[in-house]
Structure 1
């Protein structure tokens, strides 16, 4: 009788142990909620600060995540002169301190733009900065305003579809329709860049393809007034931009 009780006790303890382990493993196997990646802080400067035509110039981007420099990003600078369609892409080399550097010599004076394509294992951002080369003389045919500028690329058509009446602190959808040769342009990498007019801070967000050739993303604009919206489209060797404005109230 005592022997049978011992056997029963051992079996019961074994069952409880297996059940406990199984419950623990089940908890460990539960999918943990994903958190949005922390945005990078990206700055851009030139050395020298005042660039002369024909002078070799360092183009420097610094990348940080919070207070920590990001030393392992992939950084490419896309440079173009205001009003021109030709863009030049330059690979930037890391300095192991959170800085990424390339060199360029500019053959003409004018206003230039630099889009800093920055990719880490968690996030992709591509802020655009403006800088000046030499002295700009008055031109009888000035370039079109930025929101009308469209850098055409292989017949790509970009059409914004934005809400004309946007309320402050209410969700609105930034949407764009892409076509090439009158067919939906699918499978593109599309990002929206938006900022309050005359503000230095730019926000960036990736868009999802909602229907073939149509891309959108919901955002909340927190201030009343005019905003600039720039869409970046990339697929293979094709890279295009277009800019417009919207009003919040």
Structure 2
């Protein structure tokens, strides 16, 4: 075999090896991309009650059915139900951790202490993804009304529904607790019209008897609608954290206060 033919065979062999490597790398990239797409799917949460109106001063089951990619989520980091009566406002809300009962169903037992219209938010964390659907529920028997009253009531309900669409939902993460002298992550999730509040300006205002003045800490968006900031509380005690969120170009300005206890 002459030298030219031998060189040609070696050259062809090198080209074949390069082609195989490219195909393998392309396949790996496709598999990685496919895996990332699956992880990025936002979980779906359906909140379920019994027949409305729900009873007063009786234990009632509330369920959240959590799925991701049509499959039940069996290992959600947490599902917390936040509940309040419209007449008392969100500042009176109670938060209850749900128990996983299987098939992606997370359940609590709750006793409504009075009649009225209630808001229920299912704060749900699955990996790095957070969602918090909000539903409205009637509790107790509705009182009779004249036709004029009914018309007025329907109009007011419609207005309330429109206002609810624009409402922001702010969930401050304080379940893990805070210790004095340790750097912690302040984390809040913000939704607008049940969608993540993205690209907003968010900061935490911190106030306490332990401080000489208010402290302001700017937060960064880590995930859509999730804002975090590092902070160290100087001493144990009660602190008020006001979450300020805004988009000046859209004339959006809002805030929500939270109280946290910092331990030694």
Give the TM-score band, short-chain normalised: 0.5 to 0.7
1:91–1:102 CA contact under 8 A, matched in 2: yes
Equivalent residue for 1:207, pick from 197, 207, 213: 197
Alpha-carbon shift at residue 64 of structure 1 (Å): 3.7
Alpha-carbon shift at residue 65 of structure 1 (Å): 4.6
Alpha-carbon shift at residue 89 of structure 1 (Å): 0.7
Alpha-carbon shift at residue 42 of structure 1 (Å): 1.0
Question: Which deviations, in whole Å up to 9, do the C-alpha atoms of 1:168-217 show, x marking residues without a partner?
Answer: xxxxxxxxxxxxxxxxxx97532112xxxxxxxxxx3212224564359x
Taking a change above 3 Å as real, the CA distance of residues 123 and 99 of structure 1, as seen in their structure-2 partners, is same
SS in 2 for 1:20: helix
Counting only pairs closer than 5 Å after superposition, residues 71-90 of structure 1 correspond to structure 2 as 71-73=74-76, 74-84=78-88, 85-90=91-96
5+ residue gaps, structure 2: 145-155, 171-185, 203-244
Alpha-carbon shift at residue 4 of structure 1 (Å): 3.3
Aligned length: 176
Counting only pairs closer than 5 Å after superposition, residues 23-34 of structure 1 correspond to structure 2 as 23-28=22-27, 29=29, 32=33
Deviates more, 1:2-11 or 1:96-105: 2-11
Taking a change above 3 Å as real, the CA distance of residues 61 and 41 of structure 1, as seen in their structure-2 partners, is closer
Alpha-carbon shift at residue 87 of structure 1 (Å): 1.0
Taking a change above 3 Å as real, the CA distance of residues 71 and 236 of structure 1, as seen in their structure-2 partners, is farther
Taking a change above 3 Å as real, the CA distance of residues 91 and 215 of structure 1, as seen in their structure-2 partners, is farther
User: Could you say which residue in structure 1 is the equivalent of 2:125?
Assistant: 119
5+ residue gaps, structure 1: 154-185, 194-203, 219-230, 239-249
SS in 1 for 2:102: coil
**CA RMSD, Structure 1 to Structure 2 (Å):** 4.5
User: Could you say which residue in structure 2 is the equivalent of 1:189?
Assistant: 189
- What is the TM-score of this pair, normalised by structure 1? 0.52
User: Could you say which residue in structure 1 is the equivalent of 2:47?
Assistant: 43
Counting only pairs closer than 5 Å after superposition, residues 67-216 of structure 1 correspond to structure 2 as 68-73=71-76, 74-84=78-88, 85-121=91-127, 123-135=129-141, 146=160, 147=163, 188-193=188-193, 204-211=194-201, 213-215=245-247
Aligned counterparts of 1:45 and 1:90: Cα–Cα separation in 2: 16
Question: Which deviations, in whole Å up to 9, do the C-alpha atoms of 1:6-55 show, x marking residues without a partner?
Answer: 642442233213321343245344784875735625132148963122x2
Aligned counterparts of 1:77 and 1:9: Cα–Cα separation in 2: 71
Aligned counterparts of 2:63 and 2:33: Cα–Cα separation in 1: 38
Alpha-carbon shift at residue 59 of structure 1 (Å): 1.7
1:190–1:232 CA contact under 8 A, matched in 2: no
SS in 2 for 1:208: coil
SS in 2 for 1:117: strand
Taking a change above 3 Å as real, the CA distance of residues 232 and 17 of structure 1, as seen in their structure-2 partners, is farther
Structure having the larger proportion of residues in helix:
2
Deviates more, 1:104-113 or 1:207-216: 207-216
- What is the TM-score of this pair, normalised by structure 2? 0.50
2:99–2:107 CA contact under 8 A, matched in 1: yes
